[in-house]
C-alpha cells in the first residue's frame, strides 16, 4: 500500500507513519512544520522516518502545495493535519483554524474526488464536535453542538468528508478522537504540561476544580484504529475512538503523581472558555466494524509518556 499522511511530523501523524513503514507500506508524509509549538519537537518526531527508504517527506502547506504531485499512486489518505487547540481558537486566530481545518480539508477532498484508485480517505476528527452534553456516553448519532471555535471547524471538515462521499463517492471515514495522550503529545495538551511541570518541581496549573472528566485514549490505540479503518472502515461512517479510561482529572493527577514519584503542587485557575466538563465515548460502532479494543491502561500509558519527557529533557528539547 502507498499512503499519504498529512501532519506526519505531529503527535499522531508521526506514530502512524512509523507503524505504516513497519508494516511494509510506502508513505508520503506532508507537514508544514508550523510554529504553533516548537518545530524542534516536530523535527525530532521525524528522526526515525527521514532515513527510511520507503518514506518521502514533503514540507508544505496543504492550502498552497501542488496536490497533484503528492497523489500519484496513493491508495489511502490519513488526513491528520489540522490547527489544534480549543483555547487558542478564539478571536483573531480563528482565521488560521478556518484555513487549516476547513479550507485545507476541502482542497484535499476536491483533489481526490475523481481518483479511482483511492481506497480510503481517513479523517482525524475530534470529540470536540459534541460540545457540552447532558448524558454520557457520546454517540455518533446524536446532535453535535461544538462549544469552541476549534470544534466548529472540525465538525465542518467532518461534514465536508460526508458531502464528498455522498456526492462523489470519496471513500471517506471519520474518526472522532477522545483526548489522545502518550509520547510526543503536543505541548499545549494537559498531560504534557502536567508531566513537564511535575518533573521540574513546578506548580501544575489546572483549569477548574479538577472534577472534569475525560475519556483518555493512548496514541498506539488510535494508530491501530486508523489502520483498521483503512482496511475495514465503511465509507461514509463516523466512529468514536475512546480509550475506556474515563476518569476525573483530579484522580488522573494522583496516578501521575505516583508515576513521577514526587508530590505534585497543584494550582487551580478559572475554567477556560471552550472547555467542556466531561467526555465519554460510545465505541460500539468502532468495535463492530474496526475491531477496536483499546489495550493501554492509563497508568501504563502515562509511564511511557513520562519516559519520553525525560528523554526530551535530557536532549535539551524540553525544559
What are phi and psi for residue 65, nearest 5 degrees? -70, 150
153 in a domain, yes or no? Answer: yes
Summarize pLDDT for 54-67 with one digit per residue, the tens.
Answer: 999 999 999 999 99
303 in a domain, yes or no? Answer: no
- CB 132, CB 145: distance < 8 Å: yes
Range of the domain at 89: 2-179+218-243+279-294
Is the pLDDT at 167 greater than 80, yes or no?
A: yes
Do the bridges between strand 76-79 and strand 55-59 make them parallel or antiparallel, or are there none, so unpaired? unpaired
318 in a domain, yes or no? Answer: no
Share of the chain above pLDDT 90, in %: 94
Summarize pLDDT for 17-56 with one digit per residue, the tens.
Answer: 999 999 999 999 999 999 999 999 999 999 999 999 999 9
Q: Which residues contact 134 (CB under 8 A, 6 or more apart)?
A: none
Summarize pLDDT for 131-162 with one digit per residue, the tens.
Answer: 999 999 999 999 999 999 999 999 999 999 99
Question: What does the pLDDT read at residue 303?
Answer: 98
Summarize pLDDT for 232-278 with one digit per residue, the tens.
Answer: 999 999 999 999 878 999 999 999 999 999 999 999 988 888 889 89
Q: Cα–Cα distance between 20 and 247 in angstroms, integer? A: 31
Report the 10 Å Cβ neighbour count for 88.
18
Asked about 168 being catalytic, the answer comes back as no
Q: Cα–Cα distance between 241 and 244 in angstroms, integer? A: 9
**Mean pLDDT value of segment 192-213:** 94
Summarize pLDDT for 3-17 with one digit per residue, the tens.
Answer: 999 999 999 999 999
Instruction: Note the pTM of the prediction, 2 decimals.
Output: 0.97
Q: State how many domains the chain has.
A: 1
Which of 66, 65, 49 is closest to 3 using CA atoms?
Answer: 49
> Which is the catalytic residue, given 36, 130, 150, 181?
150
193 in a domain, yes or no? Answer: no
Which of 85, 286, 280 is closest to 190 using CA atoms?
Answer: 85
161 in a domain, yes or no? Answer: yes
Q: Cα–Cα distance between 306 and 138 in angstroms, integer? A: 29
256 in a domain, yes or no? Answer: no
Summarize pLDDT for 86-129 with one digit per residue, the tens.
Answer: 999 999 999 999 999 999 999 999 999 999 999 999 999 999 99
Work out the mean pLDDT of the chain and round it to a whole number: 96
Is the pLDDT at 177 greater than 80, yes or no?
A: yes
21 in a domain, yes or no? Answer: yes
Q: Cα–Cα distance between 104 and 197 in angstroms, integer? A: 35
210 in a domain, yes or no? Answer: no
Report the 10 Å Cβ neighbour count for 259.
19
| CATH code: domain of residue 224 | 3.40.50.720
Is the pLDDT at 307 greater than 90, yes or no?
A: yes
Q: What is the 3-state secondary structure (H, E, C) of 35-86?
A: CCCCHHHHHHHCCCCCCCCCEEEEECCCCCCCHHHCCCCCCEEEECCCCCCC
How large is the greatest C-alpha to C-alpha distance in the chain, in angstroms?
57
Amino acid at each position: 500500500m502507498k499512503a499519504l499522511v498529512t501532519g506526519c511530523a505531529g503527535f499522531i501523524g508521526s506514530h502512524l507513519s512509523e507503524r505504516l513503514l513497519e508494516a511494509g507500506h510506502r508513505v508520503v508524509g506532508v507537514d508544514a512544520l508550523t510554529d504553533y509549538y516548537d518545530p524542534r519537537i516536530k523535527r525530532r518526531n521525524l528522526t526515525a522516518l527521514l532515513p527510511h527508504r520507503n518514506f518521502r517527506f514533503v514540507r508544505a502547506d496543504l492550502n498552497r502545495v501542488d496536490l497533484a504531485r503528492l497523489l500519484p499512486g496513493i491508495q489511502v489518505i490519513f488526513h491528520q493535519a489540522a490547527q489544534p487547540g480549543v483555547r487558542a481558537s478564539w478571536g483573531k486566530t480563528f482565521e488560521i483554524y478556518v484555513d487549516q481545518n476547513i479550507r485545507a480539508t476541502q482542497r484535499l477532498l476536491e483533489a481526490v474526488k475523481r481518483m479511482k484508485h483511492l481506497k480510503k480517505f481517513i479523517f482525524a476528527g475530534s470529540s470536540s464536535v459534541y460540545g457540552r452534553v447532558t448524558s454520557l456516553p457520546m454517540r455518533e448519532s446524536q446532535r453535535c453542538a461544538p462549544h469552541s471555535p476549534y470544534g466548529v471547524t472540525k465538525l465542518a471538515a467532518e461534514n465536508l468528508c460526508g458531502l464528498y462521499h455522498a456526492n462523489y463517492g470519496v471513500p471517506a471515514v471519520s474518526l472522532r478522537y477522545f483526548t489522545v495522550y502518550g509520547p510526543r503529545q503536543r505541548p499545549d495538551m494537559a498531560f504534557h504540561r502536567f508531566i513537564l511541570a511535575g518533573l521540574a518541581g513546578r506548580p501544575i496549573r489546572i483549569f477548574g476544580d479538577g472534577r472534569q472528566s475525560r475519556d483518555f485514549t493512548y496514541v498506539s490505540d488510535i494508530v491501530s484504529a486508523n489502520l483498521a479503518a483503512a482496511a475495514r472502515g465503511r465509507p461514509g461512517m463516523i466512529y468514536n475512538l475512546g480509550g475506556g479510561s474515563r476518569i476525573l482529572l483530579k484522580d488522573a493527577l494522583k496516578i501521575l503523581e505516583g508515576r513521577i514519584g514526587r508530590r505534585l503542587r497543584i494550582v487551580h485557575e478559572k475554567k477556560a472558555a471552550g472547555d467542556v466538563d466531561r467526555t465519554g465515548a460510545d465505541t460500539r460502532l468502532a468495535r463492530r466494524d474496526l475491531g477496536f479494543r483499546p489495550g493501554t491502561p492509563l497508568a501504563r500509558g502515562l509511564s511511557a509518556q513520562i519516559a519520553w519527557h525525560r528523554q526530551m529533557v535530557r536532549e535539551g528539547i524540553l525544559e
